[in-house]
Amino acid sequence: TTEEQPSTDLATLTREVLAEQFRLGAAVAGDLTLLLNAIQVTSKFIATNVRKARLINLWVMLFPVVDNFTQTLLKLFLKIKSIGLAGETNATGDEQKKLDVLSNDIMVNALRSSGKTAVLVSEELEEAIIIEDRLKGKYCVVFDPLDGSSNIDAGVNIGTIFGIYRIQEGSAGSISDVLRPGSEMVAAGYTMYGSSANLVLTTGHGVNGYTLDNALGEFILTHPNIKIPPRGKIYSFNEGNSLYFHEPVKRYLESIKYPSNGKSPYSSRYIGSMVADVHRTLLYGGIFGYPDDKKSKKGKLRLLYEAFPMAFLTEQAGGIATTGRKRILNITPTDIHERTAVFLGSKEDVQDLIKFYEEED
Ligand code: AHG
Ligand code: MN
Ligand code: MN
Ligand code: MN
């Protein structure tokens, strides 16, 4: 028979990142690799917690009539007493930690103790964390610990987004090390927690996708060199905001829903988790958009830890990421929690959208 032997050659994330750095002749290949290693450990831990929280959700839905005491017992039994459902109170009446806060704590702890970071910026923390000298390293990590958190209780895909800068020459690590254009990031990626955990990463030389092998506890290279199709058939916008959209966006959406030249209209897909919507866009093509509008004057998505990492990945996969008027990666942030309009995806689709902005000006 021609039955395939199982591969004995494991393309793990750590191995691939190391190999890439050796190819580039990096003098010190170890530091970024160790940092990325710390990040993948947090992704595994968050994935486990997301799964546990979903399990208890399922139990509560199967037995909606069980009283609080029984629910508490179930949670104790499943060892998730410290997680619980978003916004619930635990057995002792304390506010339980929401999953996004828990994920934040997991990341802060792991990144700080990695000894490779100098500045941390998280969606869940008002202020940046400047790492104490004893543990200070050369990298700054900006992250959204749990993206799509409104989807948690429905069991829909959610994720973690991260971007990495190297601190500037001579800097001891300060806010100015992260208030820099996204084009200066040295790596970026996300982990999506779905039926499996998928980590998608760029270090500026293309995009690789890894899938967590639960038995091995390793992210294995399953999607090497991801490229966005030059044109797609899907658009992904929260059209419930149409009332507030500006003219170029309205006209663009009109053009793909009512094409004039006998072409088929686009399909609509919108999950409401940026990670999941961008993941689909990278693989299938099309356009994802969260515009600024009359209500959200600067848009909704955050520049540092949502727009920049996704724009970096999109460009590395051969696509375009724009605000409609300028390249996202060229923006210099002035605030760590700054927002921006985002359109990203297949080259031709995003170019079509940009034409509507040019017509407007
Ligand atoms: P977060 O859960 O980290 O606060 O981010 C939510 C974001 C993003 O995931 C998604 O693209 C967008 O919010 C969806 O917003 P709408 O619900 O307004 O469509
Ligand atoms: Mn988010
Ligand atoms: Mn979030
Ligand atoms: Mn949030």
Query: What would the pLDDT profile of 340-354 be if each residue is shown by its tens digit?
Result: 999 999 999 999 999
pLDDT tens-digit profile of 259-292?
Answer: 998 899 999 999 999 999 999 999 999 999 999 9
Measure the CA–CA gap between 12 and 16, rounded to whole angstroms.
6
298 Cα to the center of ligand 1, angstroms: 14
Residues with Cβ within 8 Å of 344's Cβ and at least 6 positions away in sequence, in order, are 278, 281, 287, 288, 289, 310, 311, 314, 319, 320, 321, 322, 328, 350
Is residue 168 scored above 70 in pLDDT? Answer: yes
User: What CA–CA distances, in Å, run from 229 to 4, 25, 221, 345?
Assistant: 30, 31, 20, 9
Report, as an integer, the average pLDDT of 206-234.
97
> Which pLDDT band, with edges at 50, 70 and 90, does 95 fall under?
very low
Report, as an integer, the average pLDDT of 23-33.
75
Active-site residue flag, 100: yes
CB atoms within 10 A of CB 82: 12
pLDDT tens-digit profile of 288-345?
Answer: 999 999 999 999 999 999 999 999 999 999 999 999 999 999 999 999 999 999 999 9
Q: Do residues 356 and 252 make contact, with C-beta atoms less than 8 angstroms apart?
A: yes
Is the model more confident about 92 or about 334?
334
Measure the CA–CA gap between 23 and 31, rounded to whole angstroms.
16
User: What CA–CA distances, in Å, run from 180 to 41, 63, 129, 161?
Assistant: 27, 51, 17, 18
pLDDT of residue 78: 65
245 Cα to the center of ligand 2, angstroms: 21
pLDDT of residue 127: 97
Active-site residue flag, 16: no
Active-site residue flag, 147: yes
Active site residue: 123, 177, 218, 292, which one?
Answer: 123
Pocket-testing residue among 290, 302, 310, 342, ligand 1, by greatest number of atoms within 8 A of Cβ: 290
pLDDT tens-digit profile of 242-251?
Answer: 999 999 999 9
Averaged confidence pLDDT in the chain: 90
Query: In this prediction, what percent of the chain has a pLDDT beyond 70?
Result: 89
pLDDT of residue 126: 96
Active-site residue flag, 352: no
**In this structure, what is the dihedral angle of CA atoms 343, 275, 161, 256, given to the nearest 10 degrees?**
0
pLDDT of residue 84: 42
Q: Whose CA is nearest to atom 12 of ligand 1?
A: 272
Residues with Cβ within 8 Å of 117's Cβ and at least 6 positions away in sequence, in order, are 35, 111, 131, 135, 136, 137, 139, 140, 141
pLDDT of residue 80: 52
Active site residue: 35, 36, 120, 146, which one?
Answer: 146
